[in-house]
Structure 1
Amino acid sequence: MAQATAGASAHVQGQQHPIKLYLVVWAWLFILSTGSYLVDYFQLEGGLRYSLIILFMLLKAGLIVAVFMHMAWERLALVYVILVPMSALLVFVAIMVFESDHTLLSRLTFFAAGH
């Protein structure tokens, strides 16, 4: 019975966040989701559409990771373990996008239907 009491007291002493924090995050998630919906409602097209959708998506994901996955209160080393590889992956994807344009241009140049 002493173990049950010790476990219960350790649980009570854990970090407690005010309910206001979760309500504010929920409100921001709702606002960002509304913004994402309005992009479709106003029928935005092209780069602006995709940029806004990705921006809203990244902001929502950042809020969820920071608050609901408790990353805002973790050690800096753990945050780096998650953010550095994801940032490197985004850089590599950007490099592939730029290289794909070069590949397409060279294919159109050398494999055009008149050569």
Structure 2
Amino acid sequence: MTDATAHADTQQHHPVKLYLTVWVWLFILSACSYFVDYVGVQGLLRWSLIILFMLLKAGLIVAIFMHMAWERLTLIYAILLPPLLILVFVAIMVAESNYTLLTRVMNFASGT
């Protein structure tokens, strides 16, 4: 058995029904998003619903079409690690902004 044949035998094929189901769910979520605009929901509820539907669609696309539902380590590195790093950088910026504010308050208070 050649290396190419061995690789072809170990590939996992997903049923077409799975992809069709995902496409139907993407259509339903898009319709719900458009329905929010059609009904005329306003304010924070409107944007919360639109973002919820957008995140659900993105999650379906990433999990199924990018095959991340079957690769746990890839999911961690590609989806969970970047937002975690962004939160760390935001925390660093918050700490630095508090230090800057404290320095300004101390300097301006002592100058008057």
Runs of 4+ in 1 over 2 A off after TM superposition: 6-13, 86-92
Q: Name the counterpart of 1:32.
A: 29
Shift in Å, 1:48: 0.5
The reply on whether 1:78 has 2:101 as its aligned counterpart is: no
Return the alpha-carbon distance in structure 2 between the equivalents of residues 42 and 34 of structure 1. 12
Q: How many residues align?
A: 91
The one-letter code of the counterpart of 1:51 is S
Report the secondary structure of 2:40's partner residue: coil
Shift in Å, 1:11: 2.8
Q: Percent identity?
A: 56
The reply on whether 1:49 has 2:40 as its aligned counterpart is: no
Q: Name the counterpart of 1:67.
A: 64
The one-letter code of the counterpart of 1:25 is V
The one-letter code of the counterpart of 1:21 is L
Return the alpha-carbon distance in structure 2 between the equivalents of residues 48 and 31 of structure 1. 19
Return the alpha-carbon distance in structure 2 between the equivalents of residues 77 and 14 of structure 1. 18
CA RMSD of aligned residues (A): 2.7
Cα pair distance change 1:48/1:87, threshold 3 Å:
farther
Structure 2: runs of 5 or more not aligned: 95-112
Return the alpha-carbon distance in structure 2 between the equivalents of residues 54 and 43 of structure 1. 16
TM-score of the two chains, using structure 2 as the length reference: 0.68
Cα pair distance change 1:87/1:39, threshold 3 Å:
farther
TM-score of the two chains, using structure 1 as the length reference: 0.66
Return the alpha-carbon distance in structure 1 between the equivalents of residues 34 and 15 of structure 2. 29
The one-letter code of the counterpart of 1:44 is V
Shift in Å, 1:78: 2.1
Cα pair distance change 1:61/1:90, threshold 3 Å:
farther
